Chains A and B, each alone.
Chain A
Amino acid sequence: MSHSVTIEFDGSSHSVPEGITVIQAMWHLGRPMIHGVGCLGGVCGACTITMRSSSQTESQTALACQTMVEDSMALTFLPPDASKKVMTPLSADVADEKKMIHFYPETRRCVACQACTTICPQGIDVMEGVRAAINGEISAVAEKFTSCVMCGLCSMVCDARIRPHRVGIYARRLSVAAHPGSADQLFTRIDEINTGKYTEEWERVMSS
């Protein structure tokens, strides 16, 4: 009952059922996947592919577990993120907004080419995030990268060798260190526990 489509992969054409994802198509073709597969739910960034459909002249990137096969689709799995991470301590000192790109100074080299934004499978405006990082707007960067799955494609295509996804996660972590906020209810609760407010009630509960 199900129809099949033809995909081009690994140097030849293959017929696979319609309505399945690219990862499922790999299984269908007898390939046990170890690399290039992870959560199967679109959040781990392991299964990046580049693909082109017959109606397009340009290729685009996607997550293989989130992409349905289409007839005449040509695709290739991309290597996983191998960008180097620098140690990024979170002390109050580095939480100074001006020093935000202290550990990623190359971020200033952004030439606003948009390649990172174009390639992001999560639809993040990566370049805006990078610009905000250059301007020291920690919270804005943090917000931009909320849905980042750390696939690293933005770093792969950056001519200036910027690592936007690493800058993003660093800004996110830093934004908490820079603006710890007054989570007073939490701190009060910790005090209450430490000063034994619940001890008696616990004794009652645990012995009942």
Chain B
Amino acid sequence: MDKIEESKKRVQALRASRKDIKWPLLSEEEKHHLVHKYHPDYKKEAYGKIRIGPNQGEETVREVVKLLEGESCISSESISLTPQRQVDVLIIGGGGAGATAALSVKESGATVLVATKLRLGDSNTVMAEGGMQVAVSPEDSPIQHFMDSLRGGHMENDRTLLKTLVESGPSIAKWLLDIGVLFDREEDGNLSLRAGGGSSQARLLRCKDYTGLELMRVLKDAVLDEDIEILEFSPVVELLTDGEGNCSGAILKNLDNNKYTVVQAKTVILSTGGMGRLHIQGFPTSNHYGATADGLPLAYRAGAALTLQDTFQYHPTGAVYPEAMSGILVTEAIRSVGAQLVNGNGERFINEMETRDAVASAVIRECQEGRGVETPSGRRGVWLDMPLVDVLNGEGILKDRFPNMDRQYSRYKIDISKDPVLVYPTLHYQNGGIKINADGESTLKGLFVAGEASGGIHGRNRLMGNSLLDIIVYGKRAGRAASLRASETKFRELTLRHLEEYQSAQKEAGVVPQLVSPILFPDYVNKD
């Protein structure tokens, strides 16, 4: 403990000397070097080959390989596929993307059912803090938003998807105002904008540091206003196909009585979110309890291809102390208003507004090379000097703009306006996912995907604030396209043929499933 206090004193003592120093940005080459050497995405031994299915021969982290190669809890012998429910559009997942899709389907006049693992709104959306990127200011443009995102994504973004994302931004922001989302404003009524890492312009719309909570609260309220049917505690455990390459429904499991419900749907929208609770490479996570990548194995064994499934975002500043907060996000926006990252010696080591992959890599480098600080429980981290925000912007600004951070730390008697806090990268986001087109449709016909479960928009590294935009833009698009398709098609046969084919491919490739997927929840339960 003394060592931590000593280090903290150094951070405070050196604050004045470093506060005005502008740390240089890395050159493309330096950044490439840094990321390749320290970023977990480039840790070869953490990766394995996918041996079956549409992405056979490609790689991803071992935790995801296991999920994809897992077995279903359903078998043809154990269940009757007579539909108990029929609906035009079935939406799986009740986070920001699912709720937006539900509103969009309802608006189109199609019938809709939302099935979600926990409660409506229990999702990563509600935890998003920093904001939503929309090119609003006169100095900005959708093109600049596009270029920033493309550079941030290492030029591997699907350009059509990205163009659609940034171009829809302003009208989506307008729609959010229309349904009653309270974004922070300037005196003159214009939307208040803040800078994010890797962005050339200030373009983050926000609601203090509760942006995701605000979005989800309003979306949820709007869904309830529309009288949309929601089945809570009812995750999907298997998709159904017609055996001819069309998705035709899904099987839900009621978590309270373990009973299955067979739903026949003309189209299905998968909005199951991310994967932080897989704790890839042993990382803590900023994600909600249900973030177990359920959509990936479901879509994959039904025949949908993945893209960029090997890349993940480790948010540079996850809390490492107190232990009970480990993994919890300290929003990037705090760095955008002046909080600095400093190592155990009290020295800066990176421009805080580099893209997340670069900042995370630099933090890992400092810790690996012995310039980090060890917590009592053995975690390592560097300091995030938040008191600097008040020094630079005026007394009281930090707590006023970041009430959530203040509240979280104050529960553990840490005053963020007085003391720096320890941080280390936390598993935050799945950059890739299920491959989609601009309508949100996957390579399996009739299966649409929206939000974090999809891949391509963000390339190899998502910029801050692009995810909240993504879920609304593509939630809406998927909802609209799925409704339109539903209006043109009839119900199709319900079969598990895709599963039987997948099982024979497993046998042929000598793949022995090591778990039942989707796993639905992380296994934290003490077995003693």
Contacts and interface: CB of A to CB of B under 8 A. Distances in A.
Interface string B166-186: 010011011001111110010
Contact of B526 (A28, A146, A147): A28
Interface residues of A, number: 64
Nearest to A123: B407
B427 to A, nearest CB: 13
29 contacts: A19-B323, A20-B323, A20-B324, A21-B324, A24-B524, A27-B524, A27-B525, A28-B526, A30-B526, A32-B521, A34-B255, A38-B288, A39-B127, A39-B289, A40-B289, A41-B286, A41-B288, A41-B329, A42-B404, A44-B121, A44-B122, A172-B180, A172-B214, A173-B179, A173-B181, A189-B136, A190-B174, A198-B167, A201-B141
A149 B142 CA distance: 33
Contacts of A59: none
Interface stretch (B7-15, B218-226, B358-366, B505-513): B218-226
Contact of A182 (B179, B189, B212, B220): B189
A173 B218 contact: yes
Given A85-B224, A182-B188, A202 B289 contact: no
A152 to B, nearest CB: 12
Interface stretch (A4-12, A87-95, A104-112, A155-163): A87-95
A189 B144 CA distance: 13
Nearest to A204: B143
Interface residues of B, number: 72
B267 to A, nearest CB: 27
Contacts, number: 177
B521 A34 contact: yes
A88 B217 CA distance: 14
A169 B221 contact: yes
Given A41-B286, A46-B122, A201-B143, 18 more contacts: A21-B324, A24-B524, A38-B289, A39-B288, A41-B288, A41-B329, A43-B126, A68-B412, A90-B180, A147-B210, A150-B220, A169-B218, A176-B181, A177-B180, A183-B177, A198-B167, A202-B163, A206-B159
A175 B183 CA distance: 11
B118 A38 contact: yes
A95 to B, nearest CB: 10
A193 B142 CA distance: 9
Contacts of A181: 185, 189
B203 to A, nearest CB: 11
B348 interface: no
Contacts of A202: 143, 163
B274 to A, nearest CB: 13
B408 interface: yes
B14 to A, nearest CB: 30
Interface string A134-157: 000000001000111110000000
Contact of A185 (B137, B224, B323, B328): B137
Contacts of B170: 186, 189-190, 193
Contacts of A44: 119, 121-122, 126-127, 288
Contact of A198 (B143, B212, B224): B143
Contacts of B195: none
Interface string B382-415: 0000000000000000000001100110011000
A35 B233 contact: yes
B317 to A, nearest CB: 14
A80 interface: yes
Interface in B299-344: 322-324, 328-329
Contacts of B136: 185-186, 189
Interface string B129-171: 0000011111001110011000000000001000100010011
Contacts of A19: 322-324, 377
Contact of A147 (B123, B404, B521): B404
B200 interface: no
Contact of B182 (A24, A27, A175, A198): A175
B208 to A, nearest CB: 6
Nearest to B159: A206
Contacts of A38: 118-119, 122, 126, 288-289
Contacts of B177: 176, 180, 183
A129 B517 CA distance: 46
B407 A147 contact: yes
Contacts of A88: 221, 225
Contacts of A46: 118-119, 122
Interface in B57-92: none
A184 B137 CA distance: 10
A3 interface: no
Contacts of B368: none
A39 B146 CA distance: 31
A168 B220 CA distance: 14
B527 interface: yes
Contact of B217 (A31, A39, A169): A169
A187 B174 contact: yes
